[in-house]
C-alpha cells in the first residue's frame, strides 16, 4: 500500500494529512482529488507542487468517470472530501446531501470495482448527537441533529452497507473537533482569532455553555494514518483528545493568547438545534497505539501564532469567500 488517493486534500484536515504523509512516509505517493469549492485552497499545499510523489487532480467526487480513472491508479483511499459547516447546512442542505452521501457512494462503487485494499472514511462525532453526560463509544446509536451531521451519518451507513454486502475493506473514523493551521476562517477558532487580529468582536452563541472536545489537527492526522495502516476493515474508530472545553472557556483562552479582554465578546442568538455537548470514548484507537501528542494549550498557542504570522493566507479568504457579520 504505497499509492494513496486523498479526497478533499486541499481542505483543512486533508492538506495537513497529505503534508504528514509526504514528510513521514517517503515510500508513499499521493493523488489529491479536490474540486476546490469555497473551502478548498490550493495554497494549502503549494509547497508540494513540484514534488514528484504528489499529484493534484481537480474534480468532483460525484463525477463517476473521473473517480474511476483516478481510482485505478492507487492502492488505498482516504476520504476527507465533505461539506462540513453546520450553519451552511441549516441555510441549505442540498450540497451536503450531494457531496456527503452521493459522493461517498461514488467512491465506494469505484473502489469496489478497482479492488482497493484499504478505504478510510472520515466522519464526525456529531453523528452521535448531543450527550448530556458520559462519552459515546463506537456502538452508540446515531442521533444526528443537523442537516450536516445527518448527511455524514448517511455516508457512514453507506460505508457499512458496502462492508456487509460486498466485504468492502472500509473503515470509519469519527473525529472530534479539529483545529490548527490552514483551517478555513468560518470555523470558530480561526474566525475568532482573525476577527481579533482585525480589531473586530467575536460572535459567541448564547451563553457559550456548549461543550466540545478539541484535537490539534496533527494528532487527528496521525490517527487517520494509524487506522489506514493498522486498522481492521469494517471497524469504526473514534478519535478524541480528552480536551473538553465550553465555548466560553475556548473564547477566553483565545482572548488570553492575543491579550484581549472580554469586552471583545459579542453575544449572538444561538444556532437552531445547537447540540450541547459532544464527547468520545476512543479506547479502541488507544489499543491500536494512538496517544495524542499535543496539549490543548500548546496546540492553541501554535494555532494562534500561525494565523498571526500568515495574514497573507486568511485575509483574502475572509474578503472573497464569505462575510462575517
Catalytic residues: 125-126, 148
CA distance 174 to 93: 21
Cβ neighbours of 226 (radius 10 Å)? 17
List strands edge to edge, sheet with 177-179. Answer: 177-179, 211-216, 244-246
Reference 181, options 319, 77, 310; nearest CA is: 310
Sign of CA dihedral 197, 198, 200, 203: negative
3-class DSSP assignment, residue 115: coil
CA distance 141 to 214: 22
Q: What is the rounded (10 degree) CA torsion for 217, 223, 227, 228? A: 40
Amino acid at each position: 500500500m504505497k499509492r494513496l488517493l486523498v479526497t478533499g486534500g486541499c481542505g483543512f484536515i486533508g492538506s495537513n494529512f497529505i503534508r504528514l504523509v509526504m514528510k513521514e512516509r517517503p515510500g508513499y505517493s499521493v493523488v489529491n482529488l479536490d474540486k476546490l469549492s469555497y473551502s478548498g485552497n490550493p495554497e494549502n499545499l503549494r509547497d508540494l507542487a513540484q514534488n514528484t510523489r504528489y499529484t493534484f487532480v481537480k474534480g468532483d467526487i460525484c463525477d463517476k468517470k473521473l473517480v474511476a480513472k483516478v481510482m485505478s491508479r492507487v492502492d488505498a483511499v482516504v476520504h476527507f472530501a465533505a461539506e462540513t459547516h453546520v450553519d451552511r447546512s441549516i441555510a441549505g442542505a442540498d450540497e451536503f446531501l450531494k457531496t456527503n452521501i452521493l459522493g461517498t457512494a461514488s467512491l465506494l462503487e469505484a473502489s469496489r470495482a478497482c479492488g482497493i485494499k484499504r478505504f478510510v472514511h472520515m466522519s464526525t462525532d456529531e453523528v452521535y448527537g448531543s450527550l448530556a453526560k458520559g462519552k459515546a463509544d463506537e456502538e452508540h446509536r446515531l442521533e444526528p441533529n443537523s442537516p450536516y451531521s445527518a448527511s455524514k451519518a448517511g455516508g457512514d451507513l453507506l460505508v457499512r452497507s458496502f462492508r456487509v454486502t460486498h466485504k468492502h475493506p472500509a473503515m470509519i473514523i469519527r473525529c472530534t473537533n479539529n483545529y490548527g493551521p490552514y483551517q478555513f476562517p468560518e470555523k470558530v477558532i480561526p474566525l475568532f482569532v482573525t476577527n481579533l487580529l482585525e480589531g473586530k468582536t467575536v460572535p459567541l452563541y448564547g451563553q457559550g455553555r456548549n461543550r466540545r472536545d478539541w484535537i490539534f489537527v496533527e494528532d487527528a492526522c496521525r490517527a487517520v494514518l494509524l487506522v489506514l495502516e493498522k486498522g481492521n476493515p469494517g471497524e469504526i474508530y473514534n478519535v478524541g483528545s480528552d480536551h473538553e472545553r465550553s465555548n466560553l472557556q475556548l473564547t477566553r483562552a483565545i482572548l488570553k493568547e492575543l491579550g484581549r479582554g472580554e469586552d471583545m465578546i459579542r453575544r449572538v442568538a444561538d444556532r437552531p438545534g445547537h447540540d450541547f455537548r459532544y464527547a468520545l470514548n476512543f479506547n479502541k484507537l488507544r489499543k491500536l497505539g494512538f496517544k495524542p501528542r499535543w496539549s490543548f494549550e500548546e496546540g492553541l498557542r501554535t494555532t494562534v501564532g500561525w494565523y498571526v504570522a500568515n495574514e497573507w493566507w486568511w485575509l483574502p479568504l475572509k474578503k472573497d469567500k464569505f462575510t462575517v457579520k
